[in-house]
Structure 1
Amino acid sequence: MSIDVRPARKADIPALARVLARAFYDDPVMAWVQPDAARRKAALPGLFSALTRHHFLAGRGTEVAVSPDGIAAAALWDPPGGWQQSPREQLAMLPGVIRAFRGRLAAGRIVTDLMKENHPEEPHWYLGIIGSDPAVRGGGFGHALMDSRLDRCDAEYAPAYLESSNPDNIPYYQRFGFEVTGELALPEGGPSLWPMWRAPR
């Protein structure tokens, strides 16, 4: 089955956000930031909607993989030099972030600060978020999204970077040529993130 991968449009944001919310519901870092499962489930669509609408969509690196039933997976990439959010973008996203991390804003800040402090300076494509709807996981939708953007990275001879927030996903990214470059441990026995770098082919 051939999978249709295309740039995301503004009208895709609600469906895209719901897919990413389902994909990240059990994510170790998300669960550490917001341990209340009911709050996490209710708030994640709004968080991903805010991130996409006010930051990622403008960078033209947001893609969706589509099944006959609609959006099945999404990838939010930042182009080289575009990974940092502007003060205006941060302000626009704030309501969605507050709802998602209600009572846990300090924990959310710890994660984002740790990621920023360890972000590579060399220009690169940055995979901020990728996820497939659990109902279609294993169906090749994430693979199609990775191929789409990494083919462009190779054509531009540009490296790529991501942080894996789940150790189970590291071998998956390694199959695409990413290599672990370190481990970012969250405080108080929290989970880790693994920075991963891919040189162009």
Structure 2
Amino acid sequence: MYVIEPHVRPASRADVPALSKTLGKAFYDDPVMQWMLPNANARRRKLHRLFAALTKHHHLSRGGVEVASDGFGVGGAALWDPPGQWRQTRLEQLRAMPGLLLAFGPSMSRGMAAEELMMKAHPEEPHWYLAVIGSDPAVRGKGYGNALMRSRLDRCDAEYAPAYLESSNPDNVPYYQRFGFEVTGEITLPDGPTLVPMWRQPR
């Protein structure tokens, strides 16, 4: 049986609707997203708006957004920020705010609390920051995440640059460890789940 390998390419603005819907599906059962949007129906309908706002108004301009496809739509996506560019500018925050409000509504305060704690824990040393990675559950296990990780980590190694992420699901920690990431601590959300910060030295 012939299997089509996912192809990774840089994302464009035209990819934002598809990649945001893919990430919305990918993070539907995520513990942090369940904490932010506890209503399952609201999460199903609104979560893609979060990823659309973040991609369009921050990550895309940094040049680190990639999508994985088998030629029939976006099966997976990764939102990376280059060294020294992980912080949102004030203008980016203002531009993203309408989309975030549409996504979270009354739960917006939880999103802000999570962001503040993540910023406090974020390392200062220059690094590539993997803010988000996910694949459509329909293609999970078919190499989309692996292709996306390898694409950027190969560049990290070529540039001899470290990489950093926060795993919002503890079950995914062993997966990231296979790529060389190591646990550096914990970020516990108020009355909520725990994020696991992870750091990878270049190889």
TM-score range, shorter chain: over 0.9
User: Once the 2 structures are TM-superposed, how far is the Cα of residue 100 of structure 1 from its aligned partner?
Assistant: 1.3
| C-alpha distance after superposition, 1:45-101 (max 9, x if no partner) | 111111111100000000000113211000000000000000110001001111111
Correspondences of 1:148-159 after superposition (within 5 Å)? 148-159=151-162
Letter in 1 for 2:114: V
Instruction: Please tell me whether the aligned partners of residues 160 and 202 of structure 2 are also in contact (alpha carbons under 8 angstroms).
Output: yes
Correspondences of 1:73-152 after superposition (within 5 Å)? 73-152=76-155
SS of the counterpart of 1:121? coil
Range 73-82 or range 101-110, more displaced: 101-110
Structure 1 match to 2:14: 11
Provide the rounded CA distance (Å) in 2 between the counterparts of 1:24 and 1:171. 18
Structure 2 match to 1:197: 199
Aligned-residue CA RMSD in angstroms? 0.8
User: What TM-score, normalized to structure 1?
Assistant: 0.98
Aligned length: 200
Identical aligned residues as a percent: 62
Provide the rounded CA distance (Å) in 2 between the counterparts of 1:151 and 1:194. 23
List, as ranges, runs of 4+ consecutive aligned residues in structure 1 with deviation greater than 6 Å. Answer: none
Letter in 2 for 1:45: H
Provide the rounded CA distance (Å) in 2 between the counterparts of 1:123 and 1:2. 32
Provide the rounded CA distance (Å) in 1 between the counterparts of 2:190 and 2:88. 24
Instruction: Please tell me whether the aligned partners of residues 5 and 70 of structure 2 are also in contact (alpha carbons under 8 angstroms).
Output: no
Gaps spanning 5+ residues in structure 1: where?
none
- 1:35 pairs with 14, 31, 38, which one? 38
User: Is the counterpart of residue 26 in structure 1 residue 34 in structure 2?
Assistant: no
User: What TM-score, normalized to structure 2?
Assistant: 0.97
